Amino acid sequence: MAKLRETIAELSPSLASDTRLRAVIADEITVLRNKYADERVTQIVNDPGELGVEDLIQDEEIVLTLTRAGYIKSVATTPFARRAAVVAVCRVRSCATRTSSIRSFTPTTLAHLLLFSNRGRVFRLRGHEIPMKERTAKGTAVVNLLNLQPTSRSRPS
């Protein structure tokens, strides 16, 4: 108990004064630095790694519509409130252009889409590779996006 009281008596003045406390801390850090100081063993380097197109594109939901006439388009879902409204709007739009829609679905911009031709070939596109159009636009011809044979046509999966 006497030794503990002696330690308390030594530390109390240091704890009471900010300048003395900072001086004690600085002395202890200097002792540690001198004891363990050596040259850096590891090297710090800047390695950005591989940066692909997908890293720069935000993954957000879009609406894709493929028509029987061979047109495909993507529409942003932000103007629409709910998912059911998105599909309904796409169906209404395809009727307005006098082309019936084969498929309307809502993938993301980074989703892989598989398109199969009637000749058995499979084509893979990402959602962001399909041109973004307005809701009332006709779309882009699928033959412009894929390397189809002259007698082939695609169908979505």
Which residue in 113, 90, 110 sits closest to 102, CA to CA? 90
At 130 the pLDDT is 92
pTM of the model: 0.53
Instruction: Please name the amino acid found at residue 155.
Output: R
At 147 the pLDDT is 80
Helix count and strand count (H, E) for the chain: 5, 7
Which residues, at least 6 apart from 106, have a Cβ–Cβ distance to it below 8 Å?
61, 62, 63, 64, 77, 83, 86, 87
Which residue in 73, 50, 48, 52 sits closest to 62, CA to CA? 73
Given a contact cutoff of 8 angstroms between Cβ atoms, the answer to whether 129 and 73 are in contact is no
At 89 the pLDDT is 54
**Could you tell me the end-to-end alpha-carbon distance of the chain, in angstroms, rounded to an integer?**
82
Regions in the chain scoring below 70 on pLDDT: 79-101, 150-157
Hey, where are the domains in the chain? Answer: 62-156
Which tokens hold the place of 70?
Answer: 């061979």
What is the DSSP-derived secondary structure letter of residue 77?
S
User: pLDDT tens across 65-90, in order?
Assistant: 888 888 899 988 875 555 555 555 55
CA 78 to chain centre: 17
At 3 the pLDDT is 94
At 37 the pLDDT is 86
Which residues, at least 6 apart from 21, have a Cβ–Cβ distance to it below 8 Å?
14, 15
